[in-house]
Chain A
Amino acid sequence: EAGVTQFPSHSVIEKGQTVTLRCDPISGHDNLYWYRRVMGKEIKFLLHFVKESKQDESGMPNNRFLAERTGGTYSTLKVQPAELEDSGVYFCASSQERGARETQYFGPGTRLLVL
């Protein structure tokens, strides 16, 4: 069974540019999450999809971030325009069920550097 995959693995862009990150969850997982780890700090929740619907986007930092999950399969996270403080590692995770039995499976992350 393939795990969670993310693309690209690294991205270096200039301030003001646009970047789109992609996450392919494990097949059949309805829950998809985005997290971010800014240099040396904790991993923070950004948002949660259930299928194609945004269940919780309370962690999204501002309106420069737009997440979509077309058809309830893969998800994209677009940053437009990117700022220096957006640099960090963006993780995606997916799970099959919520609640006490939930196990989230993480992708390898996308390392974003904004210059």
Chain B
Amino acid sequence: GDSVTQMEGPVTLSEEAFLTINCTYTATGYPSLFWYVQYPGEGLQLLLKATKADDKGSNKGFEATYRKETTSFHLEKGSVQVSDSAVYFCALKDTGNQFYFGTGTSLTVIP
């Protein structure tokens, strides 16, 4: 069945460091791919998405490119801030409109 595998955390970075959180997926057909973020005490928020191969989603300095050849959707940010500390979830929506989430990666950015 469809699934998402993402990098295990926790990840701790210094402010202004480069961030990569790896995400790979298994799916039949052509899913849409998402990154959600959960800040402390809040619900999941959509961070960015890509609906077809080679699309790049971007928001708040974060980027991810839908790579069909490697079945990946890695999240990157060039310079993280303390306010980026959160849990990040990679997800796919299959052709039946059902969501599958990864296990989440906790990120802590220290000043």
Q: Number of contacting residues on A, CB 8 A? A: 26
Task: Please indicate which of the listed interface residues A4, A35, A42, A56 has the most CB atoms of chain B within 10 Å of its own CB.
Answer: A42
Q: Is B29 an interface residue (CB 8 A)?
A: no
Interface string of B18-50 (1 = CB under 8 A from A): 000000000000001000100001111110000
Report chain B residues within 8 Å CB of A43.
Answer: 44, 89, 91, 101, 104
* The stretch of B58-66, B78-86, B92-100 that contacts the partner chain: B92-100
Q: Is A88 an interface residue (CB 8 A)?
A: no
Report chain A residues within 8 Å CB of B57.
Answer: none
Query: Shortest CB–CB separation between residue A55 and chain B, in angstroms?
Result: 10
Q: Is B75 an interface residue (CB 8 A)?
A: no
Interface residues of B (CB under 8 A from A): 4, 32, 36, 41-46, 51, 89, 91, 93, 97-104
Interface residues of A (CB under 8 A from B): 3-4, 6, 33, 35, 37, 40-45, 56, 91, 93, 98-100, 102-109
